[in-house]
Structure 1
Amino acid sequence: MSTFSGLGTALSSLIAQRQALEVSGQNIANANTIGYTRQRAALSSLPAAQLPSMFSVSNGPGYGTAVTDIARLNDVFLDAQVRTTTASSSFLAARASASKLLETNIGEPAATGLATQLTGLWAAFGDVANSPNKDSSRAVLLETAAAVADRIGSLYTAASTQWSQARTQTGALVEQANTAASNIADLNKRILAMENSGSSANELKDQRDLLVTELSGLVGATTRTQENGQIDVLVGGNMLVDGSKSRQLAVTGAAGFSDATGGAEVKVVWASDPSRSAGLEGGQVAGLLSVLAPPAAGGTGGLLTEAAASYDKLATQLATQVNTLHRQALTIDGTQGGDFFDFTAGQPAALGLKVAFDDPALVAVAAPGAGALDGSFARQIALLGTSVDGPDATWSAFVVQLGVSTASATSRATAAEATRASASAQQIAQTSVDTDEETVNMLAYQRAYEGAARVLSAIDEMLDTLINRTGIVGR
């Protein structure tokens, strides 16, 4: 090796240390950038040159150092864990949120709740039984009954409104997932082009990983890495993103609450083939689909449609039990009583429940042959409030069941979120920038750069002596 080769060795170190210093500077610049993964310059020594002679060998040192790669210090296993836990957490959070909102709309226990209004209804029947000759008691009874019917109808309307909001949100989230998938496909294309040209695409990979995590939270996406560095995104085992190509999802099925209560299902399908379900297994959209599901045998259907079915059952039970007794009684003028409650044709029972008349004189509470001032049937109707199979018992069972399911959903969602947060914390610990560590690295690179510069100066002095001062003794 010649003396001049030392210049190349020192130069390689200057270049490598400067590049490594720039990488540390990039890390510090992005210390607070969400989704940024810290990087490291991989330094490798350059081997000595191979001489062309067949039997000759080189005993000299290598030719310095070079940056062979700028590595992203991520962990693929932690990334996969974050995506899996994010999908599960988002799914359970969507269900828990819907349960909490439904529980809030029911408003039990409260002074304005349906349970209190039912109690007031039975008390009003008791007042009529005590004072059957007072029109004021009968008028109060009609108003109280109308309030109960309106309350049941408002509960049904609230469930319908919540369903419509969830349906709209599902469509918006699917559009968001389609946009994210298209962006991932575009990033795949750009990353491949940059790496083929010899450039580093680490920052684009950070953006891609953020989008993949977003997709996991939306539709439970998983990934598979290709040999060329591109990633495929799968939903329900099917390709959503294949390299630089992406597919689109669409929402079909029930468009209104009446469709859902009638058995129609909201589905997420492939836009290119609407007959094929996307088969979502996790994520917020899957959670909303479970909330939007139609009723099923055994009460295992969607949260909101099952609630609507419970409201219909309550309205039908209330009308049937009260009407059965009211028809047997006589009015104040001795006329046979008719239905106390009625339903509006073409509407669900809960929404169409109403008081059949508005004339207090048509309230029938007297037993046949007991006289006009008898109120025995009013007392029997009032006792429905304490019946084990009465409307109060049905409503109480529904409220208790909803409370238990909401508590369970909330507990599961909280546990899943804790798991996701733990996985995210491990990922952040692996990928986030430690400014103290980067400061130490910068000092190390700075000193190495200064050392290489000193070597360069020393070699320059040696060459100056060799070229300019050798052979001038005695002149």
Structure 2
Amino acid sequence: MSTFSGLTTALSGLNAARTGLNVVGANLTNVNTSGYTRQRVEQAAVGAPVNGSLYSAGVKPGQGVNVTGIARLGDAFLDARVRTAFSSAGYTNVRADALSDIQARMKEPGTGAVSGQLTTFWGSWQGVHNNPGDPAATTALLQGAAGLAQSISDGYKGLDTQWSQTRSKADLLAADVNSTASQVADLNDKIRTSAASGVPSSELIDQRNTLTARLSQLVGGTVRDLPNGGNEILLGGNVLVSGSQVNTVKIGGQTSMTDATAGPVQLEWTRRDGMAVDLDGGQLASTLSVLAPVDGKGTGGVIAETAAEYNNLAETLAKQVNDIHRAGSIADGTTGHDFFTFTVGPAALGLTVVPKDAAGVATAAGAAVDLEGYGSIADKISQIGVRPDSPDAQWTKTVIATGTAARTALQQDVAAGSALSNAVGAQQSNASVDIDEENVNLLAYQHAYQAAARVMTAMDEALDVLINQTGRVGR
């Protein structure tokens, strides 16, 4: 064994301690970097050399230490758990926001809301009945009817606006998916190149994990690692990203709520026009479910289904009032006149009051105009509101269903948010930088470096004596 081997051993200790100091420094400087995963130096002892000849004998110590790599202390299971939690939280958050917006637009309960205006409308008919021939009562009735029709129309318009805004948001989310997927593919290529050249790529993997978590929040999906260091992301079993390759997506379907039944909004593969992407979670999946058309079962998209309830309300209101109003006579003694009618378009938007003044309002039964018969039609119409099949009962059911759905969605959103916080907390407890731990490591590597330097100094002094002082005895 060479006399100079001690210097090599000390040098290996210096190199290992210096590498450890550099890694600790990188950890400490990235303590506040989002998505950063702490790193550790992996070391292995260098064994004693083999016997060089038959005459080699004696105990041989090891030859120092080697740095075998720099480990990234991430956990694939915890990373997958975070992606799953992001997917679920993204889905529930969009749905909760949509239902909360719908509930806020209804403004129920309140005198200015539809329910309050229905009550006022029936009361106005009772006022006409109680004050026969009073033009002020009839004028109040017509104004209340026009206000009620306008409120129903405004409610529908608000939902139509919400649908259009959500549709535009879906386009933005799809563009975000394509942009994020392209960044993941670019990082895959860089990681593959780094792995092939033996250069650590921990920071690149951290960036990629942040982006894949963002994709999970957007569209869910499944992430699989590839042997070359890259990964692939699957949506419904089809590839979105594979290595450096990307299959882009787009939003297809109609751009207005009234036409959505003919062409539902869906996420499609750009290169396979019309082929829908099967999503299992994320913001886009929830957005598309919110934009779904009416399905006839009440389980379609929440916006379109609520808009359909406004149409149903307008139709029910018009039918029940008109059925009684046609039996009464107006000022010229004729019967068969409607109080409400519809113009072109959805019923909620087209609901219109027919009479322009008191002369067009039927209040008496048939052709009777005497005070005894006067107002009997108004009295019958005023009682519609207390019937079990009244517009009021129908609308109350809608309001309760919307409120229940909104409350459930908010509870699910809170639960999903808690699950996400727990998942991220578990991930961070394993992967984030602990300043106290890093300071201990810093001191350990500092002392190791000093000790290795002291060994090198001692070896240098011993060699100096051997080389320069041998044979100088007695001088």
Scaled to the shorter chain, the TM-score interval is over 0.9
Is the 2:40–2:71 Cα contact (8 Å) retained in structure 1? yes
CA 1:58–1:240 in 2, change beyond 3 Å: closer, same or farther? farther
1:353 maps onto 2:313 in alignment: no
Aligned to 2:266: 267
Aligned to 1:138: 138
Alpha-carbon distance, 1:189 to partner: 0.5
Alpha-carbon distance, 1:131 to partner: 1.5
Listed as ranges, the matches of 1:248-287 within 5 Å are: 248-260=248-260, 262-287=261-286
CA RMSD of aligned residues (A): 1.5
Alpha-carbon distance, 1:297 to partner: 2.5
Secondary structure of 2:68's aligned partner: strand
Alpha-carbon distance in structure 2 between the residues aligned to 1:293 and 1:249: 19
Aligned to 2:112: 112
Alpha-carbon distance, 1:62 to partner: 2.1
Is the 1:50–1:58 Cα contact (8 Å) retained in structure 2? no
Listed as ranges, the matches of 1:31-50 within 5 Å are: 31-50=31-50
Alpha-carbon distance, 1:59 to partner: 4.2
CA 1:54–1:296 in 2, change beyond 3 Å: closer, same or farther? farther
1:381 maps onto 2:375 in alignment: no
Aligned to 1:18: 18
Is the 1:138–1:360 Cα contact (8 Å) retained in structure 2? yes
**Larger CA deviation: 288-297 vs 57-66:** 57-66
1:363 maps onto 2:364 in alignment: no
Alpha-carbon distance in structure 1 between the residues aligned to 2:154 and 2:58: 92
Is the 2:331–2:362 Cα contact (8 Å) retained in structure 1? yes
Aligned to 1:179: 179
Aligned to 1:332: 331
Secondary structure of 1:409's aligned partner: helix
Alpha-carbon distance in structure 2 between the residues aligned to 1:219 and 1:52: 63
Alpha-carbon distance in structure 1 between the residues aligned to 2:398 and 2:50: 85
Alpha-carbon distance in structure 1 between the residues aligned to 2:55 and 2:4: 24
Aligned to 1:217: 217
The one-character-per-residue Cα deviations of 1:261-290 (angstroms, maximum 9, x if unpaired) are x34210101111023211011000000010
Is the 1:181–1:246 Cα contact (8 Å) retained in structure 2? yes
The one-character-per-residue Cα deviations of 1:17-36 (angstroms, maximum 9, x if unpaired) are 00111100100001011111
**Larger CA deviation: 445-454 vs 128-137:** 128-137
1:399 maps onto 2:386 in alignment: no
Aligned to 2:454: 454
2:412 is matched by which residue type in structure 1? R
Secondary structure of 1:104's aligned partner: helix
The one-character-per-residue Cα deviations of 1:72-117 (angstroms, maximum 9, x if unpaired) are 1111100000101110111111111100000000110122111000
Alpha-carbon distance in structure 1 between the residues aligned to 2:386 and 2:55: 108
Alpha-carbon distance in structure 2 between the residues aligned to 1:423 and 1:458: 52
Is the 2:41–2:69 Cα contact (8 Å) retained in structure 1? yes
CA 1:195–1:395 in 2, change beyond 3 Å: closer, same or farther? same
The one-character-per-residue Cα deviations of 1:20-75 (angstroms, maximum 9, x if unpaired) are 11100100001011111111111111222334659978841222112111111111
Alpha-carbon distance, 1:337 to partner: 4.7
Alpha-carbon distance, 1:333 to partner: 3.7
Aligned to 1:317: 316
CA 1:58–1:371 in 2, change beyond 3 Å: closer, same or farther? farther
The one-character-per-residue Cα deviations of 1:440-462 (angstroms, maximum 9, x if unpaired) are 00000000000000000010010
CA 1:54–1:281 in 2, change beyond 3 Å: closer, same or farther? farther
CA 1:400–1:54 in 2, change beyond 3 Å: closer, same or farther? farther
Aligned to 1:299: 298
**Larger CA deviation: 58-67 vs 441-450:** 58-67
Unaligned runs of 5+ residues in structure 2 are: none
Listed as ranges, the matches of 1:20-99 within 5 Å are: 20-51=20-51, 59-99=59-99
Provide runs of 4+ in structure 1 moved above 3 Å: 50-59
The one-character-per-residue Cα deviations of 1:133-154 (angstroms, maximum 9, x if unpaired) are 0112111111110100010011
Secondary structure of 2:273's aligned partner: strand
**Larger CA deviation: 6-15 vs 330-339:** 330-339
Alpha-carbon distance in structure 2 between the residues aligned to 1:77 and 1:343: 60
Alpha-carbon distance in structure 2 between the residues aligned to 1:122 and 1:321: 12
Aligned to 1:465: 465
Alpha-carbon distance in structure 1 between the residues aligned to 2:259 and 2:2: 87
Aligned to 1:237: 237
Alpha-carbon distance in structure 1 between the residues aligned to 2:42 and 2:113: 68
**Larger CA deviation: 14-23 vs 127-136:** 127-136
Aligned to 2:157: 157
Alpha-carbon distance in structure 2 between the residues aligned to 1:58 and 1:209: 53
Alpha-carbon distance in structure 2 between the residues aligned to 1:148 and 1:57: 107
2:231 is matched by which residue type in structure 1? I
**Larger CA deviation: 364-373 vs 350-359:** 364-373
Aligned to 2:205: 205
**Larger CA deviation: 293-302 vs 193-202:** 193-202
Alpha-carbon distance in structure 2 between the residues aligned to 1:136 and 1:338: 21
Alpha-carbon distance in structure 1 between the residues aligned to 2:383 and 2:96: 37
Secondary structure of 1:394's aligned partner: helix
2:205 is matched by which residue type in structure 1? K
Identity of aligned residues (%): 45
Alpha-carbon distance in structure 2 between the residues aligned to 1:427 and 1:466: 57
Is the 2:333–2:367 Cα contact (8 Å) retained in structure 1? no
Alpha-carbon distance in structure 2 between the residues aligned to 1:57 and 1:449: 31
Is the 1:13–1:65 Cα contact (8 Å) retained in structure 2? yes
CA 1:339–1:286 in 2, change beyond 3 Å: closer, same or farther? same
Alpha-carbon distance in structure 1 between the residues aligned to 2:59 and 2:113: 93
Is the 2:87–2:220 Cα contact (8 Å) retained in structure 1? yes
Is the 2:252–2:274 Cα contact (8 Å) retained in structure 1? no
Alpha-carbon distance in structure 2 between the residues aligned to 1:55 and 1:34: 60
Secondary structure of 2:275's aligned partner: strand
Alpha-carbon distance, 1:163 to partner: 0.5
Aligned to 1:227: 227
Secondary structure of 1:233's aligned partner: strand
2:299 is matched by which residue type in structure 1? T
Is the 1:331–1:372 Cα contact (8 Å) retained in structure 2? no
1:46 is matched by which residue type in structure 2? V
Alpha-carbon distance, 1:372 to partner: 4.4
1:12 is matched by which residue type in structure 2? S
